[in-house]
Amino acid sequence: MVTDRLFSQKVDPWLLRGNPQVTELLNGLRGSFEVTWAAERIAYGTKMLCFILKPHDIIKETFGFEREIALFVSRFPFVEPRTFQAIDQFCHESPLHERVDPSVVILNSPDNRMLEKINNQQSEYPQSRMIVALSDAILSKAVDDRWAINNGISEVLFIRDLFNYKLPVQPSQYFYGREQVISTLVDGVRKCQNSGLFGLRKTGKTSILLRVLDILHHDRTTYQVFIDCKKRYIRKLTCDGLIARLVKQIDQIFKSNISAQLEKGIDATEVLENAIRKIPNGRRLCIVFDEIEYITPLSPTDLQWKEEFVDFWQAVWAIQSETQKLCFIICGVNPSICEIDRFADAKGGGSVQNPMFGIVNVQYLHGLGRNALADMMHFFGKRMGLRFSEEAIQYVFDRFGGHPLLSRLACSFYHETLLARSERRPIEISRAIEERMEAECYAEISAYCEHVVSEVREFYPDEFELLSLAARGEAEQFLDRARSGRGLAHIRNYGLLEQVDAGKPIVLIPVLRQYLQEQFKRESGERHFRVMLQFEARPSWLERKKRSLDEDICILNEELRATGMYDLFPGGSLRKISDLLRLDVVQTQSDLTNFLVVINRIFVENIERHLKDSGRKLFVDVKSDFPHLFEALMRIKLYRHYSGHIELDDSWLQRFKSYVANDFGDLGESVFVECPFLVQQVVLEEMHVGLQYEIARY
């Protein structure tokens, strides 16, 4: 219902009278919002007027706002980093924390560079809440033109891609369809029981763990320690080293100095037990082990855990049994580590009992259910001006199996494609629209499928082979291999497989099935050539690729820092490299030569220069530590040399010809003259794939 009333009777009139300029500006909100609360707040040396706005029906319907919206007004001349810190602080305070939408706020400032600064902030922190800039000019215009507010909001929300986020969701963000899993894990901790959460990568396991820890933090009866076992400085430890680390983290929680006992030569296990016994009665410590496979006998790289695993978990289990003040949550791909009753004794012949056997309550995390997927698509879609029909939602569910990452990437692809076509929003997304985009969408998402199966491939190669056989339709071999071991049960529990027609296996996610088929062809030596993109699809494809490459570099460098590895790229981002932004679609041989010079400078030369500062080399360190990325870089370097008529010696010439044969088949070197765009397409796609492989590995 639209009303001309702007300020609720609950708003302090003295605040309004004391700020007449702001009160006058806010008249532009009349007919779009009602101000239901107002106050002056100060944080980080920044004073703001804070308002809670109740959206009118037209705003609710257009942008999908279901809760009130926070508005922050700053009369300081400039927007600064502390402005965003203050906004974050205010949003965590009452009553905003309880009442307003946590995903979006509105900011008003006299700074004429406000929008630019907001965009820079949100590029650097992509998971932060959306900030809509409503300038003085927009608010003044809205007094006579109510559509000015609508247009001002849509210019921000309809452009930002809310679906394209690949890192774990923080506790304050929205969860879809995971409430029961979270509740079960929290209940287990409160009962001091051990839990295990298992499933494919990128299904949201880490996000759930962060949410569980957030709930327990406010519980005040449970202390928490989080261990990311994938981090290099964790997985390189021994049993005693990991126990010592736990003791030091417990010291930080209780502000104690129990770790000093380690320096006196007291056994690490005894010191940990002493620390746990000091926890007050009625309280407990929960240790969360994420990426558990990296500190188990399954680890292919850190072989000390074949021996140290048993010692570590014997110590943990003994302390838990004796004190009743310790529990843990483990998180990984599948519960093999809890199902095996005995391990081969790494110290000699025979076997040793698995201390983790039978003491963990196991849960599998599947893809989102149909209703949860619909909630997610509706929520983000409405804010972006996308209205998904029920048939369109069903299509995404059928094609991507509710897998959170793949489903979001598909929706992101629809958004980017329609944005490139300048389609007017709001727009309804129908199944027919999705079907017309299917081939291009699959090609775009295929590179991310490695994320989904990378840890199955690394830790459980027999299960990966079962998946590959199922994808290729080789039912007889599949059934033969499935008869032994628990692999079939695990794959079913991932939500990836069903068996029909007397046991014939079906991989339930079509894009993953296609990816596994193509990977088998590659690895078996069968050539697989790309289809060159249609002319009209190339500009939007290039814009997506440039954005993806920047995001990939940021994510990979973040993963490398977290695991203790070295950065590959100076600054961790391509965002500020103007050469990348100027890349255009290749149309001629001359365009291709220029493109290869630029892309070689952006990637190969920049990485070589950056590594040189730390005494590392592309052909030694990158080749060893990042083999998939190394191949993509070599392709760029050799294609650039060939295109620039730089003579190659025999060994490099053979490598160049191998790339050309694999990439272009019978077209051979003529592709550089006859199909120059195809070279650009291959170079950028292989760079993207190489980065995705390395992100999945680290």
Model confidence pLDDT, tens digit, residues 582-606: 789 999 999 999 999 999 998 999 8
Give the residue from 432, 411, 421, 423 showing the smallest Cα distance to 541. 421
Residue predicted with more confidence, 345 or 291: 291
Q: 193-197, 240-244, 451-455, 576-580: lowest mean pLDDT where?
A: 576-580
pLDDT above 50 (res 677): yes
Report which residue type is found at 250.
I
Whole-number pLDDT of residue 635: 95
The pTM of this model reads 0.80
The pLDDT of residue 1 is above 50: no
Q: Residue 168's pLDDT band (boundaries 50, 70, 90)?
A: low
Does the pLDDT value for residue 139 go beyond 90?
yes
Residue with tokens 């003295």: 14
Residue 350's pLDDT band, with cuts at 50, 70 and 90, is confident
Lowest mean pLDDT among 23-32, 243-252, 386-395, 514-523: 514-523
Q: pLDDT (tens digit, 9 = 90+) per residue, 307-316? A: 899 999 999 9
185 pLDDT tier (thresholds 50, 70, 90) = very high
- Measured between its terminal Cα atoms, the distance across the chain in Å is 52
Of 151, 149, 212, 210, residue with least CA distance to 180: 212
Domain spans of the chain? 13-157, 179-364, 370-448, 451-523, 552-697
User: Across residues 423-449, what is the average pLDDT?
Assistant: 91
Q: Looking at the predicted structure, is the pLDDT value of residue 299 above 70? A: yes
Convert the pLDDT of each residue in 539-586 to its tens digit: 988 988 888 888 888 888 888 877 778 888 776 555 555 677 778 999
What pLDDT is stored for residue 543 in this prediction? 87
- Per CATH, the number for 179-364 is 3.40.50.300
Buried b (16+ CB within 10 A) or exposed e, 61-80: ebbbbebbbbbbbbeeeebb
Do residues 237 and 298 make contact, with C-beta atoms less than 8 angstroms apart?
no
Q: Per residue, what are the HEC states of 100-132?
A: EEEEEEEEECCCCCHHHHHHHHHHHCCCCCEEE
Model confidence at 167, in pLDDT bands (50, 70, 90)?
low
Classified as helix, coil or strand, 693 is helix
Long-range contact list for 356-362, CB < 8 A, 24+ apart? 356/313, 356/317, 359/194, 359/317, 360/194, 360/195, 360/196, 360/330, 360/335, 361/188, 361/193, 361/194, 361/195, 361/196, 362/195, 362/196, 362/198, 362/335, 362/338
According to the model, what pLDDT value does residue 191 have? 94
From CA 73, how far away is CA 15, in angstroms rounded?
13
Rg (C-alpha) for the chain, rounded Å, is 28
Is the previous residue joined to 627 through a cis bond, with omega within 30 degrees of 0? no
Average pLDDT, the chain: 88
Strand order in the sheet with 361-364: 222-228, 284-290, 326-332, 195-198, 361-364
